[in-house]
A and B are shown apart, each in its own frame.
Chain A
Amino acid sequence: MTFLERYETLLGKLPGDSALRAAASDAFRSAGLPGATRGRPSEAWKYTSLRSLAETRFRSGEPKHEAETILARLPLLDVPRLVFVDGEFSDRLSVHIANDGDGTAKSAEAPLSSPGSLKIARFADQPDFGTLTWPDREPMVALNTMLAEDGVSLHIPANHDCGTIQLISVATTDADLHPRHTIRLDAGAKLTLIEMSAGEGVYFLNTVAEIHVADGAHLTHIRLQDESLTAFHISTTYAEVAATATYDSFTLNIGARLCRTEVHATLAGEHATAHLNAVQLLMGAQHADFTSVVGHLAPHGTSRQTVKNVLSGRSRGVFQGRIEVARAAQKTDGYQMNQALLLSPDAEIDSKPELEIFADDVKCSHGATVGELDAEQIFYLRSRGVPDAEARSILVRAFLSEALDAVTDEAVRGSLERAVESWWQRNKA
């Protein structure tokens, strides 16, 4: 069954605004999956084709794998977690927030209770499509809008520090999943959101998240994508950052046969800050695309992006980064760096940085480097007794350290470092 056919069969059964879904299905019908239709591929999908995705048939069925086992492999932290299994909220596997956001984990009491003033809701119960997304421009957002069934809506009230929450996706069956999340931080609120995704089988996770960070609020958004190596992972995030607010994100992509992380960050208020850092570690025939659009709309905004790729085997990394500075956004400070380390002669990186500047008093820079491990450095380590494989591992981690150091929370960084280590072990095997 195609996505559109499935939409037809679900008509009337999906939650939320059916007109919005109908419009999205029209948009998806006319656009199709990027790279899978005839004609010129769109500029936004220049380096990533979804033909292989179009050729794969997904169907939801009985879970084939144990969600617990998959969950246990993730470097989880001892903080509350909201777990979705095959796209559906799992009360059983979630660990709820005990009380007024003091961050203390406690086992489930009431399903998705909204302790204190923090508001948590399921998309299935209270569908919220948000206001920032563009189903008409982004075919994958259209697809999500058409088929979304569940997700989370988190609302952190003003001046409330919510600590750390994990948002986890586990896939146990060969299905296509379209989670829909909304995260709202009111003025002065604070949250560290850790998203992790993993699974087994040939599935397709197509997440859309909409994020609002109001005046002076601070969202740290960490993502670990460790999907099955036969899975497809596409995630599109829209973040709007208000005056003096910060959206600080870090994405680590390790798994999936094909991965695309697309982020649209808009610095809408003065002195807003956005960090879109990422690391992609690929091997075999993996393909991972990190695409970002940073829109500076107001003065004194700061954006920082360090994206590092480590590519072995025949893998292919893609970085597309666009910084747009509107006429009003004077004193913008934008920086973008893309670096790739090629561990094999057959690996490939495509890098497309773009600056589009309409203001005259701005500081924007970007750069890209591609290299291999340095033979002298390897020899130096080996001459000190360090085995060749360990020397290489040390140098790869050194290459990543600058990006990982941007994750300031030590527990979180530790969990990401464990994920890097497990990638390295897998890569060696």
Chain B
Amino acid sequence: MLEIRGLSACIGDKEILKGIDLTVPQGEIHAIMGPNGSGKSTLGYVLSGREDYTVTGGTVTFNGANLLEMEPEARAIAGVFLAFQAPIELPGVNNANFLRTALNAVRRARGEAELDAVQFLKLARAETKRLHMRDDMLKRNVNVGFSGGEKKRNEVLQMALLRPKLAILDETDSGLDIDALKIVADGVNALRSAEFSALVITHHQRLLDHLVPHRVHVLSQGRIIRSGGPELAKELEQSGYASLIAEAA
């Protein structure tokens, strides 16, 4: 279970998150929507431990552990995974090596046996096939020269291999074609279990058709101004954020 209480964070002297309260019970999928610049990506980064953000208040516990005290790699090992809104390019780093290094780092820390190159490739090929990714994506440098959609698929591939307990998908649906959208949703659905939860950041109802959320939260100017069931997303699709924001003000 993820429990966020009164979380505030700033970058430099700019306060971006202004007291967020959010609970995601195990087994649930929650969607986060909200206007551009409202702090959605910031929330994802703070949860995964990016150092340029300073947490100025509040607590975050994940399955009982104090998440905010953990290094980014320790959070990954504990099961937190952030699919980046803008995945990072790593020139000179082979994608297959990157994926295997990450997977083995996590397996090692979890006390599982590391995979050798052959075992890994077998697993990775099965996943790329499921995600309808071309085989040569494994041979190329991480995200370098990947199309927008290919980068997003590569994020989903990492998620599928690392098998997180909390997946934070930051606009993973943006820039994806309709078929890919379904593949991403399938990727998340394949991980679903009583121990798995997800925070799905999105601007579109479409993904939520495939990935029906238990709750939908609206983030505006660093605060959650409204929470509701899946119907809230549909409502927003019709009416936009303006009236909600006016109401909250």
A381 to B88 CA separation, bound complex (whole angstroms): 9
Q: Across the interface, which residues of B come within 8 angstroms of A382, CB to CB?
A: 49, 71-73, 76
Chain A residue at minimum C-beta to C-beta distance from B109: A385
Query: Contact: A375 with B105, CB < 8 Å?
Result: no
Query: Contact: B91 with A385, CB < 8 Å?
Result: no
Number of interface residues of A (CB under 8 A): 22
Q: Across the interface, which residues of B come within 8 angstroms of A375, CB to CB?
A: 51-52
Most buried by A among B72, B93, B102: B72
A382 to B77 CA separation, bound complex (whole angstroms): 10
Choose among B73, B93, B102, B105 the residue that contacts A398 (Cβ–Cβ < 8 A). Answer: B93
Query: Contact: A380 with B105, CB < 8 Å?
Result: no
Choose among B52, B82, B90, B92 the residue that contacts A383 (Cβ–Cβ < 8 A). Answer: B82
Query: Contact: A385 with B105, CB < 8 Å?
Result: yes
Query: Contact: B101 with A390, CB < 8 Å?
Result: yes
Query: Contact: B101 with A395, CB < 8 Å?
Result: no
A380 to B95 CA separation, bound complex (whole angstroms): 13
Query: Contact: A398 with B84, CB < 8 Å?
Result: no
Most buried by A among B51, B82, B105: B105
Query: Contact: B49 with A388, CB < 8 Å?
Result: no
CB distance from B109 to the nearest CB of A (A): 7
CB distance from B83 to the nearest CB of A (A): 10
Query: Contact: B92 with A379, CB < 8 Å?
Result: no
Choose among A384, A390, A394 the residue that contacts B76 (Cβ–Cβ < 8 A). Answer: A384
Q: Across the interface, which residues of A come within 8 angstroms of B82, CB to CB?
A: 383
Most buried by A among B51, B73, B91: B73
CB distance from B165 to the nearest CB of A (A): 13
A375-B52, A379-B50, A383-B82 known; A388 vs B71 contact (CB < 8 Å):
yes
Query: Contact: A379 with B109, CB < 8 Å?
Result: no
B162 at the interface (CB under 8 A from A): yes
Query: Contact: B105 with A386, CB < 8 Å?
Result: yes
B106 at the interface (CB under 8 A from A): yes
B8 at the interface (CB under 8 A from A): no
Query: Contact: B105 with A384, CB < 8 Å?
Result: yes
A394 to B101 CA separation, bound complex (whole angstroms): 10
Chain B residue at minimum C-beta to C-beta distance from A384: B102
A69 at the interface (CB under 8 A from B): no
A377 to B92 CA separation, bound complex (whole angstroms): 12
Chain A contacts with B in 385-406, Cβ cutoff 8 A: 385-388, 390, 394-395, 397-402
Q: Across the interface, which residues of B come within 8 angstroms of A377, CB to CB?
A: 88, 90
Most buried by B among A375, A387, A397: A387
Query: Contact: B92 with A380, CB < 8 Å?
Result: no
Chain B residue at minimum C-beta to C-beta distance from A374: B88
A24 to B166 CA separation, bound complex (whole angstroms): 73
CB distance from B45 to the nearest CB of A (A): 8
Interchain residue pairs with CB less than 8 A apart (28):
A375-B51, A377-B88, A379-B72, A380-B87, A381-B98, A383-B75, A383-B76, A384-B106, A384-B158, A385-B73, A385-B76, A385-B77, A385-B105, A385-B109, A387-B73, A388-B71, A388-B73, A394-B90, A394-B93, A394-B98, A395-B93, A397-B92, A398-B90, A398-B91, A398-B92, A398-B93, A401-B92, A402-B92
- Beyond contacts A382-B73, A384-B98, A384-B162: 13 other A-B pairs, Cβ-Cβ < 8 A, are A375-B51, A377-B88, A379-B51, A379-B72, A380-B88, A384-B105, A385-B102, A385-B105, A386-B105, A390-B105, A394-B101, A398-B90, A399-B92
